[in-house]
Chains A and B, each alone.
Chain A
Amino acid sequence: MKLRIARDELLTGLQRVQGVVEKRNTMPILSNILLEAKADGVDILATDLEIGMRGLYKATVQEPGAVTLSARKLYEILKELRDGEIELTVGENNWAAIQAGKSHFKIMGLPSSDFPALPAIDREGLIPLTGAGLSELIRKTLFAAGDNDARYILNGLLVTLTTLEKKTMLRLVGTDGHRLAVAEQEVGVAPSKDAPKEIKAIIPKKAAFEMRRLLEEGDGEPLIGFTKNLMIFRKSGLLLTSRLMEGNYPNYQQVIPKDHDRRATVARLEMEGALRRVSVLSRDKTNAVKMTLSAGRMALFTSNPDFGEATEELPAQYTGEALTTGFNARYLLDVLGVIDGESVSLQLETPLSPCLVREVGNSGFICVVMPIKV
């Protein structure tokens, strides 16, 4: 195998797969990427067995072939190289030589035949989406999904894709059992007069994160499709596949509080700033902050037996009875961080009931945060 490729082109390909490559080193070959030199360029593949990514990059292939090389080392080398062409030659025993100007590297590879194949896709049935819409939905829900939660299914996002009457609606749901984010919007025009259909799937958090990274590059609208156990995502020549998570997603609709009047509306940035300030003195780990709502105002209070206490008041549109509750400040800050509007509404029935947080003027996003007793 021998090819010439622009340093920037290869670097882009390597940057895209860094997140996919397995870092825990369970199987040594998973920390490698597969390079396949073909007549029309070089394919770069990476997988952690759950997620796979493939992209074709422009290159002058003098001799087709394939090799797997350490994703990290190759990336580190490329990052340090100057702009220009590089020559990659793979010799015997998978030794790869990289020649760039006066720099010369020889790195050890593993045979391409050992690299796990990306899952076979029998029927794609791809649906076009607006990239901005999908990216927005991921941003608004990913923060709420679990991180290494013992209940495996909470480490994913629930995706519901509905096509009806020329509209494609997408809803994403994330929860870690203490907070829940549901975001929904129209993300495109349904391809034809197909019967309305609804697809439900649970995708790993990592897949959503990688999709968002690719979407942030801009440049071309994505296509998404689902098979029985796979999600397929295509965008400007790139293919991302992800295994779907098996299991039952909790009945999230049941825990969303019904609309009622006990609601406070506050300026989002003002509340975010106040929370950041008082949480400096909140207790470690739980970040507990006490919140009191009374006519026309919201008061935030924290105390830490080792340091001291902090309090801040801000105006709030609130007319109900005075109410005191507590929250993990981190949970509230996470929600406020994904809300775009100027004001935010918080709806609470009792001090210990779920708090419904909404963006004023956007019915497509809701978040539920469970309080803590303080």
Chain B
Amino acid sequence: MPRWVRQIVFGDVDAMYASSAIVANPALAGKLVAVGSPPPRGIITAASYPVRRFGVSAAMPTAQALRLCPDLVLVPPDRPLYQRMHQRMREAADRFFPATEWTSIDEFYADATDLQSVYPDPAALGRAVKDALFEATGLRCTLAVATGKTVAKVAADAHKPDGLVVIPPGTEATFLAPRPVRSLPGIGPKTAARLEGLGIHRIGDLVEPRCEPTLRQLWGTRLYALQSLARGEDHDPVLPDREPKSLGHETTFDHDTDDLAVLERTLRGFLSELAHEVRRDSLAAGSFTVKLKDAKFKVTRRQRHFPAPVNYDPAMWQDIRAALRSLVVPRTRYRLVGLSLSALVPATERLFDQRTTKAMAAMDEIIEKHGARVMRCGGMPEE
């Protein structure tokens, strides 16, 4: 088999949240599982493939999902579980590849160029990686091997779930040409709709000379970069992970709210989850951002520094609550609230709070093992 100049693997776990719930609780196997919070306000965070067939999708209000799929089994989100799964996948992937780049909790790129002497057949490599990930986590994933990141991602997206696809060198453009423009990374729903209006439906249309004048008006010089991608020319390297710069969480309410208590409760819930993650990575946050989106889709944000980097949520809450209160405009209804922690730095141990530190470590360990629902800091009421 001829050696590839560059070989990129893209992996994407199938319905990671819902599948993790089933791995954690095998009694759910075969049921119509979706992850989300309960009605009336709750929304679906992630739906398993069988549930998707009923028309249920992420970000849909749970009440609507239950109407579409009455036998739906709703599982609450469990971020520590996903993190644990993520960690195991990372360890498994690191055993294969010299460099992996995780673009989200369930997606990664890896550079397999130097692995070709060990795995001359990319399909064999793909099967081995899929099996290793399954063995480590019990989760199935879709894997694509191509010469660049874009083609690998588009190929994987087209072969879900549990797929394995190899796009050999030289066939990239023919593989991409018939796909809808929307599947090309960088083209969102709004751009896709405009392109549809211009009669451009497929990726292949982007490199058609007849479309070029129209497209140049739309994109200017950016067009050439997109045309290269459309031809499957993609030299973007796999960048091993950098330190996370921030951690965030946001939610859209299914009914807009002007109730400060609801906003505070939601943020407090986010805070205990985020602080747990920050502590787990031995970090402390130097600043935070509270984000609100009102019923008219106007987004407002407030970023503040903590007096010193901190990872103990009761000590963070006062500042976050004050920022939220200063951001909320009376008699305004909000559809979304979010919180992110940033300026993450390695945490320095504290001299005088060693008992608190130990207690938090014990709590974090219990959360890691049994999920976020079983324990939380006192004085932080239930969501």
User: What residue in chain B is nearest A256 (Cβ atoms)?
Assistant: B351
Instruction: Judge if A180 is at the interface, Cβ distance under 8 Å.
Output: yes
Instruction: Judge if A326 is at the interface, Cβ distance under 8 Å.
Output: yes
Instruction: Judge if A156 is at the interface, Cβ distance under 8 Å.
Output: no
Contact of A286 among B242, B345, B351 (CB under 8 A): B345
Instruction: Judge if A38 is at the interface, Cβ distance under 8 Å.
Output: no
Instruction: Judge if A131 is at the interface, Cβ distance under 8 Å.
Output: no
Distance of A129 Cα from B308 Cα, bound (Å): 37
- Does B352 lie within 8 Å of A250, measured CB to CB? yes
Q: Mark B332-354, 1 if CB is under 8 A from A, else 0.
A: 00000000000101111111111
Summarize A's interface: helix, strand, loop or mixed: loop
Distance of A179 Cα from B243 Cα, bound (Å): 26
Contact of A177 among B243, B343, B350 (CB under 8 A): B350
- Does B351 lie within 8 Å of A352, measured CB to CB? no
Distance of A324 Cα from B343 Cα, bound (Å): 25
- Does A180 lie within 8 Å of B351, measured CB to CB? yes
Q: Would you give the shortest CB distance from A370 to chain B, in whole angstroms?
A: 4
- Does B351 lie within 8 Å of A370, measured CB to CB? yes
Distance of A325 Cα from B14 Cα, bound (Å): 39
Contact of A371 among B243, B308, B349 (CB under 8 A): B349
Instruction: Judge if A373 is at the interface, Cβ distance under 8 Å.
Output: yes
Instruction: Judge if B300 is at the interface, Cβ distance under 8 Å.
Output: no
- Does A354 lie within 8 Å of B347, measured CB to CB? no
Distance of A285 Cα from B346 Cα, bound (Å): 10
Interface size class of B (residues with CB under 8 A): 10 to 19
Contact of A328 among B243, B308, B348 (CB under 8 A): B348
Distance of A328 Cα from B347 Cα, bound (Å): 10
Distance of A283 Cα from B242 Cα, bound (Å): 13
Instruction: Judge if B282 is at the interface, Cβ distance under 8 Å.
Output: yes
Distance of A328 Cα from B309 Cα, bound (Å): 13
- For B286, B308, B343, B349, the residue with the greatest tally of chain A CB atoms inside 10 Å of its CB is B349
- Does B347 lie within 8 Å of A177, measured CB to CB? no
Distance of A212 Cα from B343 Cα, bound (Å): 36
Contact of A373 among B282, B308, B351, B354 (CB under 8 A): B282
Distance of A251 Cα from B351 Cα, bound (Å): 10
- Does B242 lie within 8 Å of A374, measured CB to CB? no
Instruction: Judge if A70 is at the interface, Cβ distance under 8 Å.
Output: no
Instruction: Judge if A178 is at the interface, Cβ distance under 8 Å.
Output: yes
Instruction: Judge if A120 is at the interface, Cβ distance under 8 Å.
Output: no
Instruction: Judge if A372 is at the interface, Cβ distance under 8 Å.
Output: yes
Instruction: Judge if B307 is at the interface, Cβ distance under 8 Å.
Output: yes
Instruction: Judge if A368 is at the interface, Cβ distance under 8 Å.
Output: yes
Residues of B within 8 A of A372 (CB): 282, 346-349
Q: Would you give the shortest CB distance from B190 to chain A, in whole angstroms?
A: 34
Q: Would you give the shortest CB distance from A306 to chain B, in whole angstroms?
A: 9
Contact of A255 among B309, B348, B351 (CB under 8 A): B351
Residues of A within 8 A of B343 (CB): 285
- Does A305 lie within 8 Å of B243, measured CB to CB? yes
Residues of B within 8 A of A251 (CB): 352
Residues of A within 8 A of B349 (CB): 178, 352, 354, 370-372
- Does B308 lie within 8 Å of A150, measured CB to CB? yes
Q: Would you give the shortest CB distance from A372 to chain B, in whole angstroms?
A: 5
Distance of A250 Cα from B350 Cα, bound (Å): 12
Instruction: Judge if A141 is at the interface, Cβ distance under 8 Å.
Output: no
User: What residue in chain B is nearest A288 (Cβ atoms)?
Assistant: B346
Distance of A283 Cα from B348 Cα, bound (Å): 14
Distance of A251 Cα from B354 Cα, bound (Å): 12
Q: Would you give the shortest CB distance from B184 to chain A, in whole angstroms?
A: 30
- Which chain A residues numbered 271 to 311 have a C-beta less than 8 Å away from chain B? 283, 285-286, 288, 305
User: What residue in chain A is nearest B343 (Cβ atoms)?
Assistant: A285
Instruction: Judge if A155 is at the interface, Cβ distance under 8 Å.
Output: no
Given contacts A251-B352, A288-B346, A372-B349, 17 further A-B contacts (CB under 8 A): A175-B351, A175-B352, A177-B351, A177-B352, A178-B351, A180-B351, A255-B354, A285-B309, A286-B345, A286-B348, A305-B243, A326-B346, A328-B348, A352-B349, A370-B349, A372-B346, A374-B346
Q: Which 7 A-B pairs have the closest CB atoms?
A: A373-B282, A370-B349, A286-B345, A372-B346, A150-B307, A250-B352, A372-B348
